[in-house]
Structure 1
Amino acid sequence: MKLYYGRISTTDGQTSATQYEDAKQHGVDRKHVHIDEGVSGYHVAPSDRAEWKRVEDKLSNGGVLYVRWLDRISRRYDELHATMQRLMAMGVRVECTLNGMVFDGAATDAIAKATRDAVLAFMAAQGEADYLNRREMQRRGIEQAKRTSPEKYVGRARAADAESVVAWRREHGASIAATAEEFGISPATVKRYCAQQASA
């Protein structure tokens, strides 16, 4: 079985159309393309995403999984490493369409497995480091812009009323942290809004 997994956050510039086209170019039937949209790869674990759960169910007996890059699965080292090891244990072959890198769960040679796992660990660590570095550079850039041109800097307006926040979280299956980041509010506020809507 050949599957394709895609994930689209609100900031990475990817679209479902480009990922469906990527899957088509690699011979994956559209019915086996699974894309989680509006989901942070850093704040929302793979196990908390609806489409990813379907991917793991379909691959329980092995198969080939195409992803554009490993960060589509997760941008956190621990989560990506654990998820990939789970796939490897199921005998899944993971292929990255961006550069052809392959992680083969069917490998039996000890050296091949050790090399695979070492490269995987490095890529997982690099993915998290790159994400955190970009966030830090973005934060510094915003702070600099506010200092040098406060009259020109306008942040993204967000509707942060309880109904909008809870509806967005439900629609995207997002965590408290990811929802707080999306609306620029605190996790405590998100929790309060969820409680208010539940009681209503």
Structure 2
Amino acid sequence: MAVIFYARVSTAEQTIEHQRRQAEAAGFQIDRVVADHGVSGVTTALADRPEGRRLFDMLRSGDTLVVRWVDRLGRNYTDVCDTIRQFMRQGVVIRTVINGLTFDGATEDPMQQAVRDALIAFMAATAQANAEAIKEAQRCGIALARSADGDAKYRGRKPSFSKDQLTTVREMLERSSGIGEIVRATGLSRQTVYRIRDDQGAAQGALARWGA
């Protein structure tokens, strides 16, 4: 029974190695890494990615598929739900690094199945909603930057955080880290972390408006 880690990166700022280190730090002993580079999780289904499609042939009953979070499988609600359910039908266990979630098809109890399926649906919906919020913020930022009035006075206050800091805050929030822990890890003020937590789309938009 193999433990296969699947990673996906869509931008130059993300790295496969970073995702793998997170998994190993969480205690996963990985037998093999499968990764897609520069592939969108919004527009490209897992089965349509060069490496993602290999998972459907590679994984066997009893194997464990590890991902950083469900958004690595995709950011489309239907695709993520269908993918996880298909793997479960194959006898594959899906585990996430963030939040330590486990999805498998072992239970035959209807109530447990209902709770499991509801959680899968919620996580898939969250992945899509986050992607749409980020995309909208980026679109607004680009439109403003291209407009005739897109000078500094219309961009608002320059963000007090960098792209890397925003990424770290998001990752730690997904792991349900406390505000104090995030402050220590990023060097940001508590007020800044609260602002990011309360409106991640606006935080992304602020960076986009300032070309970050």
Superposition TM-score tier, normalisation by shorter sequence:
0.5 to 0.7
Measured in 1, the distance between the counterparts of 2:65 and 2:71 equals: 14
Quote how far apart the aligned CAs of 1:108 are. 2.3
Paired letter, 1:73 = L
Amino acid of the structure 2 residue aligned with 1:52: G
Q: Does 1:124 align with 2:111?
A: no
- How far did 1:23 drift? 4.2
AA at the equivalent of 2:69: W
Question: How large is the Cα RMSD of the aligned pairs?
Answer: 2.1
Mapping for residues 7-26 of structure 1, pairs under 5 Å: 7-10=8-11, 13-25=13-25, 26=28
Letter in 2 for 1:37: H
Q: Deviations over 1:110-134 (max 9, x none)?
A: 2111101011111111211211121
CA distance in 2, matches of 1:107, 1:93: 12
**Does the Cα contact within 8 Å between 1:23 and 1:33 map onto a contact in 2?**
no
In the aligned structure 2, how far is the partner of 1:7 from the partner of 1:46?
10
Residue equivalent to 2:173? none
Instruction: Please tell me the residue identity of whatever aligns with 2:29.
Output: G
- Which residue does the alignment assign to 1:37? 37
Query: Aligned pair 1:94/2:94, yes or no?
Result: yes
In structure 2, distance between residues paired with 1:140 and 1:16: 29
In structure 2, the residue matched to 1:175 is: none
| Distance (Å, rounded) in 2 between the aligned partners of 1:71 and 1:83 | 12
- How far is 1:149 from its partner? 3.1
> CA–CA distance in 2 between the matches of 1:28 and 1:126?
27
Q: How many residues align?
A: 149
Gaps of 5+ in 1: 152-200
Partners of 1:137 and 1:149 in 2: CA distance: 15
The aligned counterpart of 1:79 is 79
Structure 2: state its 5+ residue gaps.
153-212
Distance 1:55 1:38 in 2: 18
Q: In 2, distance between residues paired with 1:107 and 1:68?
A: 24
- Determine the structure 2 residue equivalent to 1:2: 3
Counterpart residue type for residue 3 of structure 2: K
CA distance in 1 between partners of 2:60 and 2:106 (Å): 13
- Residue in structure 2 matched with residue 115 of structure 1 by the alignment: 115
User: Runs of 4 or more off by more than 4 Å in structure 1?
Assistant: none
Residue 45 of structure 1 deviates from its aligned partner by: 1.1
Q: Percent identity?
A: 39
One-letter amino acid matched to 2:64: V
